[in-house]
Structure 1
């Protein structure tokens, strides 16, 4: 009789362990993107050094739109066929990684 009660306790204990819902740890990532405000400028307002850099670094591309921020950095949207790219440069024509 003792063996029967002991084996029932073991079986019920084993079932209760499996019935428990596993706790899942949820990781939450929060990213903040800080972007300087760029205002659109005409292609005539882009310095020659910036245009020269684009022509040398990205041959056979066309300047679609140009934007400028308060730090005299330029955001240039260029295209080659149906592909579009965004390039950031400073006023001297140096490419900036953003």
Structure 2
């Protein structure tokens, strides 16, 4: 019985580790898909309403300094906040955030 319990613990531990590695690989592939696409600069006025609404909703003090788009209709936004901090956000054409 003791051997069965130890074997079960090792089996579950191995499966958990494999699942974590698989999830990390999927996230890295998604990040690479965005990072590999070339972005072209566009005017902030040309951004879809969904993207500007997402910025206004989630970052009410942010202003969009520069905007870029790639062929997959993913948007790279360089924004700055009123407190002086700046950053880059990525969104799809529907205003959904893309994790980088």
Please say whether Structure 1 and Structure 2 have the same fold, judged by a TM-score greater than 0.5: yes
Q: Displacement of 1:35 after TM fit?
A: 2.4
Alpha-carbon distance in 1 for matches of 2:75, 2:50: 12
Residue matched to 2:91: 89
RMSD: 1.2
Alpha-carbon distance in 2 for matches of 1:35, 1:77: 18
Deviations along 1:43-79, one digit per CA (max 9) or x if unpaired, are 1110011000000011111110000000000000010
TM-score where L is the length of structure 2: 0.62
Matches within 5 A, 1:1-98: 34-81=35-82, 82-98=84-100
Deviations along 1:9-59, one digit per CA (max 9) or x if unpaired, are xxxxxxxxxxxxxxxxxxxxxxxx652110000011100110000000111
Q: Displacement of 1:85 after TM fit?
A: 0.9
Alpha-carbon distance in 1 for matches of 2:41, 2:67: 6
Residue matched to 1:23: none
Larger radius of gyration: 1
Superposed structure 1 runs of 4+ greater than 2 Å apart: none
**What stretches of structure 1 of length at least 5 have no aligned partner?**
1-32
Per residue, is there more helix in 1 or in 2? 2
Aligned length: 66
